[in-house]
Chains A and B, each alone.
Chain A
Amino acid sequence: MRQIEYEIINTVEKLFADKKIDIFIGYKKGTLSLQTSPYFLSEQDDVRKLVWNSFCSNNLAVFIPRIIPNSKSKESKPVGILCKGCDSRSLVGLIKEKQINRDNLFIIGISCPGIVDRRKILSRLDGKEIIGIDEDADSIVVKLKDGEKRFEKEEYLCESCLNCAHPTPSIYDVLIRGAVYSLQAITPDPITKDFSSKPREERWKIFETEVSKCIRCYACRDACPNCYCKECFAEQTKPQWLGVSKGLSEVIFYHIVRILHQAGRCVDCGACVRACPMDINLRLFTRVMVDEVKERFGYEPGISLKDTPPLATFSADDKQEFMTEPE
């Protein structure tokens, strides 16, 4: 881990020295244990504050459309960004949807060993205060006032990482290779397969129970690189699609539309579920969309800059058995 961190720092330092970039987005140490924070740095900032560890959980691609507002303009210098596999897939999506220009990016790709789910670890600590963290290749050691606890990474990875098929970035300018999590990715995802096999009523019940926790803070939307709309349907007033209350029907409406807007676009990075303060299992539903799209159209978003997203094209042999008369 330390080795990779040095490599990142050296690469970024060189990019600044060579005047290739003016701004770089990476991660720095967080103020809370088991967490990092996005770090925007320019040449005068401390490049040695950049970190790389199992808690670099934010999808940094989310910031790109905000700081490069125009897809057509060619910025004088590209924006440097550190990308895990999923971050780079998000960037591919943004480029294909003409939100950003590839030339405006300098991507330091990093093969990702998977992100550890801090909530999984926290749930095992009974609210005890963490004094320090140590990390090696396979495990996280949490130091407490009364001793320490070891957590095998494999068991505590985020769910989206547990079944990640592309831990190495699909696009990059420089690639830093490291160990990747070696489990074979499976489609459909075991968790969603289990969900999909349940009867409709039960699936609806699960969906309803989950989204009823929603407080409509829109963190799931705002943490998602795909949600770059300047005006979101959820807040539009002319016309108004849904009310602003916390009522179940409004919340259901919001989440169904959000999930459907992700069809063929979601890269299963898990940013939404990590951002949610109410612990809604959002990834379960978007992953169903991911598997559905893969099964029907053989398409995985974010892998290639060339192929056309299935919802942006039509083929005569598209499966369409779902287009049935209402029962």
Chain B
Amino acid sequence: MLKEKRNLMLYKQDFEKFFRLLSETFTIFGPSKTDGSRSFTKIDASDEIAFDYENTKMSLKEFFFPQTETLFFFDTEKNEVKQTDVETNKHDKQNILFGVRPCDAMSISFLDKVFNANNPQDLYYTRRRKSTRIVSFACTNPASTCFCTSVGCGPDSETGADIIFFELNGRYFIKTVTPEGEKTIKSAEKLLNPATKNDIEEKVHLMKTANSNLKKIFDSGNLQKKLDNFNAPYWGKLHRKCLGCGICTYLCPTCHCFDITDEVIKSNGRRIRTWDSCMFSLFTLHASGHNPRPTQKERMRQRIMHKFNYAPKYYGKTFCVGCGRCVIYCPVNMDIRDVMKEIMEER
């Protein structure tokens, strides 16, 4: 951690210069106007960034943990594994993810616990993680579907970020969070001035308003305890309208379940890992035909329990950051906030 986090100011008219200086050493990705902020894409010029976006449709996880990833290539005729680019690929340039929402930044700190921890380490994820800096953008105007403050996150949460930006009137308030964050802005140091007392006050006021727009719907700490009741009656009802599709899990920034399969064309093959979802019936189906989670009831329970009960026990964190993607895109309006409320109300 950084001994002293610095508060710096950047005038908006200098942003273009700032961007250019950073792009000399970094490849910059961000929410782009061109794809309607569908996901983080490569940004070549500062004016391509969609600053006013709420959040990208696809979460940040796909940057570190893509939906399809080659673990290695192989030749079936020679019966030989050919190493993947994990070992060989050189990364001359480091990446910056610019304009990440604090919830997504926090989600990466959770995925780190799964993939980056030494138990054993996942090289594919770690490689990308090591070469990437995360620059967050505090949410001054959270969406009605956001519930980050209910799950220990917030519109100005710093967890997972190297640097966090706050948009003030005519200028950006920049806070460095990690030593890597400090190094990231080094080349643009001359554009930055220390924040004054007034700047800090303006920032505090701004975030106060943002925070007040976010209602705390439930307390995820209490929730974990509540959920220890595995056979609670609500599980028999909650799932009924669930269609069993994978939208909530695929758009979720913390869901990280995957499948490993082989793909072969003639003698050229690759072993890939692909996103998978606990909402699918085949997820836990044994080769013998036995399925420990035979209906949507068990599958929905698994998703909720994994996030709010199992993950806190296993990783010490609730695996939900309140980004609201599952709320927005669920085709039957299965609103996780409502599900939580219902669980909390059950005696």
> What is the distance, in angstroms, from A298's C-beta to the closest C-beta of chain B?
33
- The DSSP consensus for interface residues of chain A is loop
Interface residues of A in 232-255 (CB under 8 A from B): 235, 243-247
Task: State whether A36 touches B245 (Cβ < 8 A).
Answer: no
Q: How many angstroms between the C-alpha atoms of A274 and B247 in the bound complex?
A: 13
Residues of A near B277 (CB, < 8 A) are 217
Task: State whether A277 touches B243 (Cβ < 8 A).
Answer: no
Task: State whether B327 touches A245 (Cβ < 8 A).
Answer: no
Interface size class of A (residues with CB under 8 A): 35 or more
Task: State whether B274 touches A277 (Cβ < 8 A).
Answer: no
Q: How many angstroms between the C-alpha atoms of A215 and B59 in the bound complex?
A: 13
Task: State whether B263 touches A243 (Cβ < 8 A).
Answer: yes
Q: Is B259 among interface residues, defined by CB-CB distance under 8 A?
A: yes
Q: Residues 252-291 of chain B: 1 if any A CB is under 8 Å from the residue's CB, otherwise 0?
A: 0000000101010000000010101100101000000000
Residues of B near A295 (CB, < 8 A) are none
Residues of A near B109 (CB, < 8 A) are none
Q: Which residue of B lies closest to A55 (CB)?
A: B333
Task: State whether A31 touches B337 (Cβ < 8 A).
Answer: yes
Residues of A near B280 (CB, < 8 A) are 218, 235
With A31-B338, A38-B241, A222-B245 in contact, do A247 and B68 touch (Cβ < 8 Å)?
yes
User: Which of A215, A222, A245 lies in contact with B272, CB distance below 8 A?
Assistant: A245
Q: Which residue of B lies closest to A127 (CB)?
A: B54
Q: Is B246 among interface residues, defined by CB-CB distance under 8 A?
A: yes
Q: Residues 60-94 of chain B: 1 if any A CB is under 8 Å from the residue's CB, otherwise 0?
A: 00000001100000000000000000000000000
Task: State whether A38 touches B332 (Cβ < 8 A).
Answer: yes
Task: State whether A37 touches B67 (Cβ < 8 A).
Answer: no
Q: Is B292 among interface residues, defined by CB-CB distance under 8 A?
A: no
Q: Is B240 among interface residues, defined by CB-CB distance under 8 A?
A: yes
Q: Is B40 among interface residues, defined by CB-CB distance under 8 A?
A: no
> What is the distance, in angstroms, from B228's C-beta to the closest C-beta of chain A?
26
Q: How many angstroms between the C-alpha atoms of A246 and B67 in the bound complex?
A: 7
Q: Inter-chain contact count A-B, CB under 8 Å? A: 95
User: Which of A32, A246, A274, A275 lies in contact with B328, CB distance below 8 A?
Assistant: A32
Task: State whether B329 touches A31 (Cβ < 8 A).
Answer: no
Task: State whether B333 touches A31 (Cβ < 8 A).
Answer: yes
Task: State whether A32 touches B327 (Cβ < 8 A).
Answer: yes
Q: How many angstroms between the C-alpha atoms of A215 and B61 in the bound complex?
A: 14
Task: State whether A277 touches B329 (Cβ < 8 A).
Answer: yes
Q: Residues 53-70 of chain A: 1 if any B CB is under 8 Å from the residue's CB, otherwise 0?
A: 000001000110011000
Q: Quick one: which of B241, B250, B335 has the most chain A CB within 10 A?
A: B241
Residues of B near A235 (CB, < 8 A) are 280, 282
User: Which of A58, A217, A231 lies in contact with B332, CB distance below 8 A?
Assistant: A58
Task: State whether A217 touches B246 (Cβ < 8 A).
Answer: yes
Q: How many angstroms between the C-alpha atoms of A223 and B329 in the bound complex?
A: 13
Q: How many angstroms between the C-alpha atoms of A215 and B329 in the bound complex?
A: 13
Residues of B near A278 (CB, < 8 A) are 57
> What is the distance, in angstroms, from A283's C-beta to the closest C-beta of chain B?
14
Q: Is B145 among interface residues, defined by CB-CB distance under 8 A?
A: yes
With A30-B333, A31-B337, A246-B274 in contact, do A219 and B282 touch (Cβ < 8 Å)?
no
Q: Is B229 among interface residues, defined by CB-CB distance under 8 A?
A: no
Q: Is A187 among interface residues, defined by CB-CB distance under 8 A?
A: no
User: Which of A223, A231, A243 lies in contact with B243, CB distance below 8 A?
Assistant: A223
Q: Is B331 among interface residues, defined by CB-CB distance under 8 A?
A: yes
Q: Is A40 among interface residues, defined by CB-CB distance under 8 A?
A: yes
Interface residues of A in 99-155 (CB under 8 A from B): 127, 129-130
> What is the distance, in angstroms, from B291's C-beta to the closest C-beta of chain A?
12
With A31-B338, A222-B243 in contact, do A243 and B332 touch (Cβ < 8 Å)?
no
Q: How many angstroms between the C-alpha atoms of A246 and B241 in the bound complex?
A: 27
* Besides A38-B241, A223-B331, A246-B68, 6 other A-B contacts (C-beta < 8 A): A31-B333, A37-B334, A58-B331, A243-B263, A245-B274, A275-B247
21 contacts between A and B (CB under 8 A): A30-B333, A31-B333, A31-B337, A35-B333, A37-B332, A37-B333, A38-B241, A38-B332, A58-B331, A58-B332, A63-B241, A215-B67, A217-B247, A218-B246, A222-B243, A223-B245, A244-B274, A245-B67, A246-B68, A277-B247, A277-B329
